[in-house]
Amino acid sequence: MTGTGLLELKEVSSSYYSGETLLPVLDNVSLKVGEGEFVSLLGPSGSGKSTVLKIAAGLLEPDRGRVIYRGRDVTGEPRRVGYMPQQDMLFPWKTLAQNAALPLLCAGSGKRDAAARVEEMLPLFGLEGFGDYYPYQLSGGMRQRSALMRTMLIESNLWLLDEPFAALDALTRENLQGWLLRIWERFKGAVLFVTHSIDEAIYLSDRVYMISNRPGRIILEEVINLPRPRPRQVITTAQFAGYKETLLRTLAGEGY
């Protein structure tokens, strides 16, 4: 396992109440994210992936199990963490720059400092010159990059990203995957990344966890030993195909 422990979910079980009915969602889920590690959580729709991220962010308290962050029990404690929910959640009445500045302002930065920091980040996220645009004036890919930029501006060693590329066309998605790896290498934080895509999980990750149909259990943990930095062509290698075969076989066991 790479890196020392940063985040750990220990035997987490969770359920929701829908009226009178109890819906079990997670069953004894344990996973780890090391310092600076890129970990993906892959699984079918409705298996509880977003629920795992909410629990990891402290926005939801599990029925059973613990969340340990840097050796401390933080179960159910909301705290400063770079969490990007499944919907991009940009405020439509604020410009891109104003949206991106929010975490800095919440952390106590002055308006001018926050604006300067955002301005400096825009080129890195391919958004130079678009700071004054409102979300509706941006393309889908630009909105996702804006939401990612806002997430990365939260001072944290851990980013929890919930399917940031799911709504994009294949070409934009591939482009943003390579771009995310470059950003991650530069920021040196750890990432817990939720996805439905086997290729995306392998291409991006140091380790992939696969979660079963609901109630979600971890049914596979696969270390991805592809060298870094990863050129796109890595997806055509026999090693990549080997990982894909393993993950597909496990999914097939779940009826996919």
Ligand X SMILES: Nc1ncnc2c1ncn2[C@@H]1O[C@H](COP(=O)(O)OP(=O)(O)OP(=O)(O)O)[C@@H](O)[C@H]1O
* Residue 48 touches which of ligand X, Mg ion, none (Cβ within 5-8 Å per kind): ligand X
Residue 42: beta bridge partners?
195, 210
Whether 1 contacts 36, CB under 8 Å? no
Instruction: Supply the minimum distance, in Å, between the C-beta of residue 86 and ligand X.
Output: 6
Instruction: Supply the minimum distance, in Å, between the C-beta of residue 211 and ligand X.
Output: 7
**Residues whose CB falls within 8 Å of the CB of residue 124, separated by 6 or more in sequence, listed in order:** 149, 183, 186
Which one of residues 50, 75, 172, 250 is an interface residue with Mg ion (CB under 5 A)?
A: 50
Structure-token match 């890595």, residue found: 234
37 by DSSP, 3-state: which? Answer: coil
Q: Does 213 bind Mg ion (CB under 5 A)?
A: no
Cα torsion 24, 26, 27, 31 to 10°: value is -170
> Which range in 1-9, 47-55, 93-101, 206-214 contacts Mg ion by CB under 5 A?
47-55
Residue among 60, 85, 201 nearest 151 (CA): 85
Site string for ligand X, 10-49 (x = CB under 6 A): ------x-x----x-x-------------------xxxxx
The helix-helix angle for 140-152 and 111-121 (nearest 10°) equals: 130
Instruction: Supply the minimum distance, in Å, between the C-beta of residue 200 and ligand X.
Output: 13
* Residue 18 touches which of Mg ion, ligand X, none (Cβ within 5-8 Å per kind): ligand X
Show the tokens assigned to 89.
Answer: 């959640």
Instruction: Supply the minimum distance, in Å, between the C-beta of residue 162 and Mg ion.
Output: 6
Q: Does 50 bind ligand X (CB under 6 A)?
A: yes
Residues 181-210 that bind ligand X (CB under 6 A): 196
183 CA to centre of own chain = 13
Residues 84-123 that bind ligand X (CB under 6 A): 86
Which positions lie near Mg ion, rule CB under 5 A? 50, 86
